[in-house]
Amino acid sequence: IMSQSGVTKEHFKEFIRAQMAWNQALSARYRSGEGGSVTEQDAVRRMLDKGGSKPTATEYMLQQVIFVVPASERAATLAKRKREADAMRARFSGCNTTREFAKGLIDVTVRDLGRVLAPQLPTDWAEQIKATKVGGATPTRETERGVEFI
């Protein structure tokens, strides 16, 4: 059958020889350590040996508190809602107690934003979040939804 399709015994032997040589070349390369798989730890070790610093990333666990102000009542209630938000922010002691504080308040929403790395912070809040101490809250801001802080 093979000779009918144009594959001779010599051609087949050459094909097998090439396959075996290729496998041997690859395994020799990976055993020598050149171009083999590099673990993350190896990469960090090489970088530190060359005088670099270890990479770091700051991760934030964020919650957004929104004191809702309906558009129709914005002029009348915005100042009152800002005072309420500032009062809650002053008592704020960490994300664990946010929902307890918000339970007794009317039209207050607490949104869990989850874990966010520093480069992925919302651009309009990034500077305020970075300036806030751990367990603290950003200053209040007036937005189209009402008065907010993170």
Domain assignment present for 3: no
Domain assignment present for 4: no
Q: Which amino acid is located at 95 in the chain?
A: C
| C-beta separation of 73 from 27 below 8 A | no
Which residues contact residue 14 at a Cβ distance below 8 angstroms, ignoring those fewer than 6 apart? none
Q: So what's the pLDDT on residue 2? A: 67
- 68 strand-pairing partners: 146
- 99: containing domain: 59-149
pLDDT, tens digit (0-9, with 9 covering 90-100), for 35-78:
556 677 777 777 777 777 666 778 888 999 999 999 888 888 99
- pTM value surpassing 0.75: no
How far, CA to CA in Å, does 27 sit from each of 38, 42, 68, 116? Answer: 15, 20, 64, 42
Q: Are residues 70 and 142 in the same domain?
A: yes
| C-beta separation of 128 from 60 below 8 A | no
pLDDT at 100 over 80: yes
pLDDT at 145 over 80: yes
Q: Are residues 63 and 113 in the same domain?
A: yes
Residue 148's SS3 state is: strand
Counted domains in the chain = 2
DSSP state of 71: G
pLDDT, tens digit (0-9, with 9 covering 90-100), for 111-130:
998 888 888 888 888 899 88
